[in-house]
Chain A
Amino acid sequence: MALRHGRGVAAINYPTGMNLGGDPTQALVHSTPTGNFMVSLSSVDLGQGLKHIMAQLCAETIGVPTERVIVDTADTDTGPHCMGTFASRGTHRAGNAVIAASREARQVMLEVAATALEVNADDLDTDGQGNIHVKGAPSRAISIMDTALVAHFKQGRSISGRGIFLVPRSYPDAATGAMKPATCYAHACTVADVEVDDETGEVRVLAVKNVFEVGRALNPKIVEQQLVGGSWMGISHALYETTEPYYPSREHGPTDFNEYLMPGPGDLAQTETYVLERPAADGPYGAKGPGEMCANPQIPAIANAIFDAVGVRIDVMPITPERILKALLEKAAASPGAAS
């Protein structure tokens, strides 16, 4: 009887956006009189930081600091349509809509500034700090605040833009299944180290090393939040979670957090996260959806590590101590005399 160490690997990919497309999202952007920018949406922030990422995307595109962007979302009286926050689509679909709307608003902003500076709009650029200047002549400049004031009160122009992003719907061929499920895919590879108690069947995940390819980490700390939390959920799915522990029996279903098992703060694996970026051709600044895929590769990596540790395959999720112990006993019974 011993604690046995094992290592396993798994690699996966994951589609960004609603399967087969047909899932539009819109955005509207306008400037306030003092040159702050309002993004109007109906997309939902589930805690992944969607509102903040939309502000960063608008800021980058318009050419202002992120704190000058306000996101007003998820009021159906004021926000244009969004299909919803699911299928790793929020950043990709809403992000593209915000960029399109911001580009249109930026163009008007540059035209207003061009009139004020008596130059051509094509000759203007932004410095990202809230100023517009003539390319190659930084002293010929106007602030975005003054530009917005001029637009509102002198030129009578609305610095605003509209954006929509739609991946056209694909219909699978009935006979062959030929179809276009998604336009881009995130990727991951996980290596898990586990320790299995071959007397009790208990598993401790010692470490997971996750490599994720996310297209573009628009805000690396927010991406890290998703990836670390997702990795925890993957471990939880692999070893702990179910609403029906004796499926297909409906008995013994948990109804509270004492019975529904998840790893607590004392059960954490040492987690390392590495991020690669291969920009998606149609991603907002190349981004793909990282939110779902990051919870998948840990599950098979852990299953494979358990086999590596104790030589039994558990092909049913969750991989509970009960299932491991049964498999170990069956294995021992099949080869009597063999030391475990």
Chain B
Amino acid sequence: MELRKTYFADERRDDLKEIGQSRPRSDAFGHVTARTAFFADRTFPGTLHLKMVRSPHHHARIRAIDTSEAERHPGVVRVLTAKDVPHNLYTVLSLIQVGPEDEHVLAEEKVRWKGEAVVAVLAETPRAAFEGVAKVRIDYEPLPAVLDMEAALAPGAPLVNERHGGNYYHYDSGSSRKVRLGDVEDGFRQADHILEQTYASAPIEHAPTETTGCIVVPEGNERFTCYTNTQAMFFTLDNASIILQMPGHKLHMVGGTVGGGFGGKVDVIVEPIAILGSKLTGRPVSFIYGREEEMQISSPRAAERIVLKDGVTRDGRIVARQVHCYVDAGAYSRHSPYGTQKGAAHFPGPYTIPNVSIDSFCVYTNRTPSSAMRGFGVTIGDFALEVQMDKLARLIGMDPIEFRLINAYRDGDLKAHRQPTEGAALIECMQEASRVTNWPIADRFFELSSRTRRD
């Protein structure tokens, strides 16, 4: 890595003593000696292992659950169903007033995705727990499922989640988060070329080397210590407190050393049910995802479908950009209404465009609920935006870096969401990229600066 200190040198102090120094990481010794303690690197006598009975259907009514055979199975200590969970209906973002509660900790009445948790089995060994899981009998009535977003939004589609009254999240702005600046139709009329293209992605897994999990230990003072690899300690504590209807001072979360997160460990899925299991049995409980659960059960990065329609002039100005972004939330909200809104704020990308119209939709389908991942709300949008920029440049016969430099935002430019640009540095990144790759651009483009107001 090379630091390029000539850019913005007058905005920076480079005489600091610790900052800017590549001090050795204080955790390196623990890592290389494999002494760093992750949440699972501890044992407690009498620990029970929790394994989940999961829906084999994309969408089904639960007619009956029979746990009697599982409960009699050697080694099985306790079986939990929806009726054991004090506040079974929840949504994690209720803490920041993003509702409604739309997901069950353990399914009741219906399952809405293949893999949804229905019954938790606690046993003396992982093997006995798996055997107990196999002995739970659930009578399902399969229902029509909707697996893709277009079908979900079509009239007459099966309703995925009754709490939303439609297969999309209701923002205060309606079925989508809207951003409007100028008049896109007017912009399209000014354009020499219009290009409308559709981009899409499939779900992506975080794949941290350490799977999601926790170990809960009941303490003598009626408190519960939860060793967890959550990415957010109090977020987990507060959500567990709501779900378990247990005052927060009864809960003690310990963590902070995590084997990779990438956004996959913010959903608060394992902790509440493990704490409940510990409370009801009085014993330590370990609930750790297997790799197949991490890949197919834990929330992935959402699939997206993005339609971009741009108007561009012959001389390289983008005069209008219209965005329709559809985010596949799966069956429940988790963090998707937030991420969809973050996407709406991110479009139309780091370019100054006078006429913008953005609609971002959070769509429900009978799929694994999606949630946060590195680049949440933005990664797939950037794929769409930057491939579109390449197509536009070729359409008007312009160099793709020069085309971007013409449109790149600068300090003071008004963004689509009506904030003035501050601290821009896109132009300089492209100038440096051109230099280090010998990508030829005209000299006048090296004279541009993010700090110079647009004419």
Contacts and interface: CB of A to CB of B under 8 A. Distances in A.
Whether chain A touches chain B in the assembled complex (some CB pair under 8 Å): yes
Interface of A: 7-15, 19-20, 22, 42-47, 49, 51-52, 55-57, 59-60, 63, 65-67, 71, 73-77, 79, 81-87, 128, 172, 174-182, 184-185, 187-191, 209, 211-213, 215-224, 227-228, 230, 233, 237-238, 241-245, 247-250, 253-257, 260, 262, 272-281, 285-286, 291-293, 295-297, 299-301, 303-304, 307, 313, 315-318
A220 B234 contact: no
Given A256-B291, A276-B428, A177 B180 contact: yes
Given A222-B25, A276-B8, A278-B423, A178 B417 contact: yes
23 contacts: A12-B350, A45-B27, A52-B26, A60-B19, A75-B256, A76-B237, A84-B231, A175-B178, A176-B179, A177-B345, A185-B424, A189-B433, A220-B3, A237-B204, A242-B203, A243-B300, A247-B203, A254-B205, A292-B379, A300-B383, A313-B391, A315-B199, A315-B387
B94 interface: no
Interface band, chain B: 35 or more
A82 B237 CA distance: 12
B202 interface: yes
B433 A190 contact: yes
Contact of A244 (B174, B202, B387): B202
A166 B253 CA distance: 23
A135 B131 CA distance: 73
A301 B385 CA distance: 11
A303 B259 CA distance: 31
Contact of A11 (B26, B114, B180, B404): B404
B83 interface: no
Contact of B341 (A19, A77, A228, A250): A19
Given A172-B341, A260-B207, A262-B207, A299 B382 contact: yes
Interface string B378-418: 11101111110111000000001100100011000000111
Contacts of A275: 1-4
Given A45-B27, A220-B20, A274 B390 contact: no
Interface of B: 1-5, 7-8, 11-12, 16-23, 25-27, 58, 96, 114, 147-149, 171-174, 177-181, 197-205, 207, 230-235, 237, 251-263, 265-266, 291-292, 295-296, 300, 303, 328, 338, 341-342, 344-346, 349-350, 358, 365, 367-368, 372, 374-380, 382-387, 389-391, 400-401, 404, 408-409, 416-419, 422-426, 428-430, 432-433, 436-437, 439, 450
